[in-house]
Chains A and B, each alone.
Chain A
Amino acid sequence: MEALPYAVSVKNLCKSYPNAIALDNVSFDVKKSELFGIIGPDGAGKTSLFRILTTLLLPDSGLATLQGLDCVSDYKKIRKIIGYMPGKFSLYQDLSVEENLKFFATIFGTTIEENYDLIKDIYIQIEPFKTRPAGKLSGGMKQKLALCCAMIHKPEVLILDEPTTGVDAVSRKEFWEMLKRLNQAGITILVSTPYMDEAILCDRVALIQDGKILSTDTPQHIINTFGKILYSVKTNNIHKLMNDLNTWEHTNSAYLFGQQIHLTLVNESFNDKDIQQYLSDKGNTDIKVEQIKAGIEDTFMSLMTKQHHE
């Protein structure tokens, strides 16, 4: 039989709770050895999706497969070939670092030694604390231990639910470097995050909001669909600037990005000179307008508003 092209395949997946629709006809595929990101805010449906894929939750309808195995009927087989790091820290708090790792190796019928190469780079960073109870570790160390435990049985697919939420910018960067290395070792990785800037670190991403996929593609292709001319506008009084842009009839969208405002116009025959003119007529000073390339966050917001208008 020919090798299956997809590590993860999701078709028309739906899941509702009494008060909410978590997944609304979700479809996407993850190729083998891909680093695939599910990008969206809290409540978008990311965790429900991952719980279905890890066989912990049943879908209402639709199909989900992992390495060709059905997430409903083949759940026992799937559990053996995936590594799962839930969003909430789920290791045994009163077992030590080493005991946790040994426990996970044992229940998957393997040993720490057998797959040590795979986790070595990460484990040596927490090894000095191997006798410490997991509950007494710092946030960054907990996260590294959880990743080691999810990897110790050499899974074919690694599923990580918001591994970087609440993590500082430095540790986030380091975590993504670890993921890249694991991915280069051939492991398919499916990772979710609410941080838009992490999208560009994935091979492909699905943007998700209110249980619906807004777009699935490489980050660059998604950004390319932005489709409007984007300006960065700066003055010495950002609040006045925001007010003036929000009340301008030609403003299509105006969003704060740090100390700049990213602006798109309704009528694109207008240009930076017209923006300058309007703002200086309104009494703004020190006006800087330049055309810039859109980023993933610009694109996500634009897709969000389009969805609301549909």
Chain B
Amino acid sequence: MNKKTVITVKNLYKRFGSFVANDNLNFEVYEGEIFGFLGANGAGKTTAMKILCGLSKPSSGEINVAGFDAYKDTEKIKKSIGYMSQKFSLYEDLTIVENIRFYGGIYGMSVTDIKERTELLIQKLELTEIKDNLIKDLPIGWRQKLAFSVAIFHQPKIVFLDEPTGGVDPITRRQFWALIHEAAQDGITVFVTTHYMDEAEYCNRVSIMVDGKIAALDTPDGLMKTYNAKNMEEVFLKLARA
């Protein structure tokens, strides 16, 4: 199997005063992998994710994202990744097409490129009839699917998804994961956080953070075997309550 590394994290520490938010993190993420990044609230996930997205500098450690250094190449990192969360996705007072054009524009895509790919995306998501509707008039499930497609519109190497399916209905949640799988098949690496433990089972590998450290990292099957659990929820409860 092709195991080209796209994220390398070695001895990552992030301190805020005397508080250690990330305490010696070590892991690699491979190209085209769906990597689940789990942990309790306050375990240090957001801190680590901000560093990987080039939004915050590590205190120490060697971190490389999409071939760029997390200390000095943060602007290059930002251009090579896509990002989407439940809280921040699309601009509600812009239309579907305007949102796509806006994101394509800030990532420096050419006008013709944006035009061609917008057409394809609108067709693929079956939004042709409503492409000039405002985002705020779209049902929430559609919005999240569109937000994901927009986050990978500039064909980034890695897409970071921060609780992308929070509050989404169960059918749309599954359609959303079908889009994630498709992106991974196309070679985009997916780095995802979620509080839905069934979704953790859709990942190729899962890491679980507890109190600033990575307490476990393996395939879902591997974790369930190691912790003698019948699903990921049990694994999570065992680790996070230990």
Contacts and interface: CB of A to CB of B under 8 A. Distances in A.
A159 to B, nearest CB: 19
Interface stretch (B49-57, B69-77, B108-116, B164-172): B164-172
A229 B106 CA distance: 51
A43 interface: yes
A41 B181 contact: no
A95 interface: no
Contacts of B166: 42, 165-166, 194
Contacts of B198: 257-258
Interface string A227-249: 00000000000010000000000
A255 B174 contact: yes
Contacts of B237: 169-170, 173
Contacts of A171: 40-41
Given A138-B42, A256-B174, A259-B220, A209 B240 contact: no
A139 B166 CA distance: 16
Nearest to B173: A41
Given A41-B141, A169-B195, A196-B170, A258 B231 contact: yes
Given A259-B201, A259-B220, A168 B40 contact: yes
B39 A42 contact: no
Contacts of B171: 255, 301, 304-305
Given A41-B168, A256-B177, A297-B170, A168 B202 contact: no
A166 B197 CA distance: 13
Contacts of A196: 170
B232 interface: yes
A139 B41 contact: yes
Interface in B16-53: 39-42
Contact of B201 (A41, A43, A195, A258): A258
Contacts of B221: 259
B202 to A, nearest CB: 7
Contacts, number: 86
B172 to A, nearest CB: 8
B218 interface: no
B140 interface: yes
Contacts of B170: 41, 196, 255, 297, 300-301, 304
Given A41-B140, A43-B140, A258-B231, A170 B167 contact: no
A172 B166 CA distance: 14
A169 B42 contact: no
B233 interface: yes
B163 interface: yes
A175 B220 CA distance: 26
Contacts of B202: 256, 258
Given A42-B168, A165-B167, A170 B40 contact: yes
A57 interface: no
A266 interface: no
Contacts of A297: 170
A144 to B, nearest CB: 12
Contacts of A162: 167
B15 interface: no
A301 B172 CA distance: 10
B198 to A, nearest CB: 5
B153 interface: no
B240 A168 contact: yes
B167 A140 contact: no
Contact of B181 (A166, A167, A239): A239
Given A168-B41, A256-B202, A259-B220, A209 B169 contact: yes
23 contacts: A41-B140, A41-B141, A41-B169, A42-B167, A43-B139, A43-B140, A44-B169, A138-B41, A165-B166, A165-B167, A166-B86, A168-B40, A169-B195, A169-B240, A172-B195, A173-B237, A256-B174, A256-B202, A258-B198, A300-B170, A304-B169, A304-B170, A305-B171
5 smallest CB-CB distances across A and B, nearest first, come from A258-B201, A41-B169, A42-B167, A168-B40, A43-B140
Interface of A: 19, 40-44, 138-140, 162, 165-173, 194-196, 209, 239, 255-259, 297, 300-301, 304-305
Interface of B: 39-42, 86, 136-137, 139-141, 163, 166-172, 174, 177, 181, 195-198, 201-202, 220-221, 231-233, 236-237, 240-241
Given A43-B139, A255-B171, 11 more contacts: A41-B172, A44-B169, A162-B167, A166-B163, A166-B166, A169-B40, A171-B41, A196-B170, A258-B232, A259-B221, A304-B169
